[in-house]
Structure 1
Amino acid sequence: MRTPHMSDILTAPQPSARLSTLDLLEAEAIHVIREVVAEFERPVLLFSGGKDSVVVLHLAAKAFLPGRVPFSVLHVDTGHNFPEVIRFRDETVARLGLHLEVARVQDYLDDGRLLERADGTRNPLQTQPLLDAIAAGRHDAVFGGARRDEDKARAKERIFSLRDEFGQWDPRNQRPELWSLYNGRHTPGQHVRVFPISNWTELDIWRYIEREGIALPPLYFAHEREVYRRDGMWMAVGPFSEPRPDETVERRTVRYRTVGDMSCTGAVESASAGISDIVAEVAVSTLTERGATRADDRISEAAMEDRKKNGYF
């Protein structure tokens, strides 16, 4: 009987792959999350109640079943959040038995460490409270829900992204991540931002939410709301987002593709009240959710990169 030669093994028919794209993305993300917990001492997850952070938290819960998620969650609260998102955040934290750390921008405004911006948005004011909370919690790894398809600056970033002693990011100092090997080395005072869903797209997120039956805040689905048109976006009428005298308030059926401050996050007109409808809608969209609905990303061509260099998400 002939001994099999290596060429026979290499040319033999291989079993067909049975893992879907979502299976592969999920496996990569869970691998990253477990690697961080094994390698770092005090990781924390940035959790706002938005869809991407909800998916990362869901992946973390799957990664450690039947045990509990072995790290805290952190939210930088601007004070201008949608109330339904804050309710969802608190309900999720209570359901999973998590410890929630909250850094409040309002505290910094009250004691003079920060000043209100002329444009009224507080999103860019989150950086200092975030860095202080990371230092106070001695967190050496910080999970985030950023994805490369959202913005050009985020497309430059690795899954493990080193931050220096000031929390700053240098896009020219990126570590290679060959063969899914991640370098978490850092010196005291530094920390690493970790993005388990970096390789996902918005469509992947929604297909995964549909497959896993993940609950989300209701504003992601079509609903009637009083809105007004500004800079090509439908802005919600609210205490932190009031129309100017020349802006007409209308009642329209809208939904949100992304969640941020009420003062800088726009809605899109949509009749998609269910996840399958949203999947179909996103599949034909030609704009990312941030490009279509986030006023804070329109401040300059490099708005996101400038904020990230200073320590933003």
Structure 2
Amino acid sequence: SVFGFADPNSSSVAKGESLKDTIKMVSGYADVVVIRSPKEGAAKAASLYSDVPVINAGDGGHMHPTQTLTDLTTIMHLRGSLDDMCVGLCGDLKNGRTVHSLITALARFKNIKFYLISPRELAIPHYMIDYMNAHGLRHVEVTNLDAVIPQLDVLYMTRIQKERFTDMASYERNRGVYILTGRKLEKARDDLLIMHPLPRVNEIAVEVDDDPRAVYFQQARYGMFIRMSLLKTLIAQGRKAPEKVPVGTLPVCHNSRCITQTELYLPPLTEKVNGVECCAYCGREIYPMENIADEDV
């Protein structure tokens, strides 16, 4: 059976319950905990206090691992390989957790090149650029989809995410900037894979649905099977012995979207990523306060 809540107001969270206490309670009832949160690093934080496996179903604009498993399965099944690809990532690359996750995963494969297609306001974050550089991933930032579509083996469209905007004027400027149409696809390869994590808004015209290169509904179906497989694997692991977690006092991460900014008891965990000290929750580089970039506040 499945139980849970989508609206925190229907749970004890609305009464001020901490993430730690929520996870302690839920993991006592369940064999697996699946968490989606607007806070970056929430799943990592949850894993510290759960006696059962935790699945990250999306943590803010950070990562979305189960979508990435879906994406990799789709490409592998339809293309036969995850090596030697030119991948176009198009849309909101600043806030798009599916994009960040996919880049991280494809770093494990050979000869990958990314075209990062976005408005300048929604460009890929600096920490992801640093990640690609550190892993030798070739990438080109562009604003024009038409100019690069002939080069692509995979086109990964994403929606402009209204819920991530605090400035609605900025959202209105950007929401219709990329719309994939049949005419645009006349320049594309015959074996192109057109993917989308869904839901779409208007970034892919309905006419494209009948193009054999459009695989986003197949992609969604593969996602069901990959998540079933993941659940089966994790349930078989059983419970782990509770571990003592040190209590933090102040966060060392200055990313305002990081879970450590609201759950102040979390231990200030960091990790080295290619020699750079990063927050173990949200993955952002740990900067001195005076060097914090605008995107981190």
TM-score by length of 2: 0.35
Query: Looking at CA atoms only, which structure, 1 or 2, has the larger radius of gyration?
Result: 1
